[in-house]
Amino acid sequence: MSGGPDPLGSHVPVLKLGDVLLVTLQGDLHDHAAEKLQQDIVEAIARSSVTGVVIDVSGVEIVDSFLGRVFAEIAATARLLAAQTVVAGMRPAVAITLVELGLTLPGLRTALDTQEALRMLTEASAALPRGAERRESA
């Protein structure tokens, strides 16, 4: 399919499932790819008018402070665009590393798996008054 190994180097698919964007990370995400992912997600939120973003990190073994900040920035930017962000499938070692680095990731919700993350977003969206999801951050 590709000419050589790509350890997530340049492109991470951002899939739209109804009102939610689904991003599945596999392997380690390098700084340039993390910045590109952040840009892709923000553009997809604005273009698609989704209400939620699920970032599945079950395939990620290492999260450094840069990637932790990128996740927090994605959540903050998504919130300004009236979308919630849930990180799903975090490995215990990754959670421990984030705590050790002192990263609290404000505004970022977590779920044990993608199914739980989608349920959380569905329930949050259902709890809003009709049409409120786009006015909430105003």
Residue 57 pLDDT: 94
pLDDT band at 63 (very low <50, low <70, confident <90, very high): confident
4 pLDDT tier (thresholds 50, 70, 90): very low
Average pLDDT estimate for 52-63: 93
How far apart (Å, rounded) are the C-alpha atoms in residues 132 and 110?
Answer: 23
pLDDT at position 62, please? 85
6 lies in some domain: no
**How many angstroms separate the CA atoms of 129 and 131, rounded?**
6
Domain of 99, CATH number, reads 3.30.750.24
Q: What is the pLDDT, as a whole number, of residue 129?
A: 57
d(CA 106, CA 11): 26
Helix 65-80 × helix 31-48 angle, to 10°: 10
Q: What is the pLDDT of residue 40?
A: 95
Distance CA 107, CA 11 (A): 25
128: in domain? yes
Full DSSP string of 28-65? ---HHHHHHHHHHHHHHHHHHT-SEEEEEEEE-----H
64: containing domain: 14-134
Q: What are phi and psi of 6, to 5 degrees?
A: -130, 95
Evaluate whether residue 27 is within a structural domain: yes
The verdict on residue 95 lying in a domain is: yes
Question: Is there a domain that residue 116 lies in?
Answer: yes
Asked whether residue 1 is domain-assigned, the answer is: no
Q: How many domains does the chain have?
A: 1
Kind of pairing between the strands at 14-17 and 20-26: antiparallel
